[in-house]
Amino acid sequence: MKTRTPLDRNDLKIGKKDFVLEIGSGHNPSFRSDVIVDKYIHDNSNRCGNIKIYHHQKFVNADGENLPFSDKEFDYVICNQVLEHTDNPEKFISELQRVAKRGYLETPSLLGEFLFPKESHKWVILWIDNKLILFNKEKMPGNYNNNYGELFLNYLPFQSLTYKLLWYTEKGVTLNKIEWEGKIDVIVNPEDEEYAKYFTNKWDKDMVRHLFPKRKLYKELYKIVNAILYLIKRKVYYICSTHETPMDINEYLGNRIE
């Protein structure tokens, strides 16, 4: 079940002694991860460069749908921008739940996929009524040829304070971000019109308000202040951080061979 909606992948409730797994970390692994898994070692078509690994981390070459770990071997599992690539999302989610007690899951939302689509993404995803709903992208109406990622991924998040505040105050607009524990309810290609309509029909006022409920003024002000404080906190952390530079996968594998 969903336990909370983090502001981003740095706002996670991970204990100091938690044993942490990360699936599909690619070129940007979380420093907090102890073990990282990736299916493709030398294929960078779905990431921005070679796999990176910090010195304290162990790398495992494996498929997220068939993880080589024991039941509940990990306290926490991080999975950023991977689910939308999977062949069998139900099996993938089942494996996350099998090997870890709780975790963080992030994917593009339906609107995010329209703004910065990727040919390798097989699923369009929404979080509705505490359920993770996945719809086959090939069945979706609309134009996925126009990619506005240069604006919405590479420019505004780094140049526009108001856009950053939108990301943090209107969670779910472009990304699905959830922390979970125990079990996630998953529906793939829903037949129920109550869920299918979000992927196939024009959104009306009731649908919009269902996904993004109206908030009272004091809650709106709280979200804005909280987002600003978080941005300041992350900026200070970035300036003061002394984290090491991760090594390239080739260096990591070379060290193991030696």
Each domain of the chain, given as residue ranges in start order, spans 2-257
pLDDT for the residue 130: 93
What count of Cα atoms within 13 Å lies in the side-chain half-sphere of residue 252? 20
- The mean pLDDT value of the chain amounts to 92
Instruction: Residue 52: count other Cβ atoms within 10 Å of its Cβ.
Output: 21
The predicted-structure confidence for 97-135, as pLDDT tens digits, reads as follows 999 999 999 999 999 999 999 889 999 999 999 999 999
Regarding pTM above 0.85, the answer is yes
* CATH class held by domain 2-257: alpha beta
pLDDT at 255 over 80: no
Type and span of the H or E element at 200: helix 193-200
Could you tell me the two tokens for 91?
A: 């099996």
SS3 228: helix
> What pLDDT, on the 0 to 100 scale, is given for residue 256?
62
Q: Could you report the per-residue pLDDT of 41-99, keeping only the tens digit for each? A: 988 877 888 999 999 999 999 999 999 999 999 999 999 999 999 999 999 999 999 99
Question: What pLDDT is stored for residue 257 in this prediction?
Answer: 44
pLDDT band at 200 (very low <50, low <70, confident <90, very high): very high
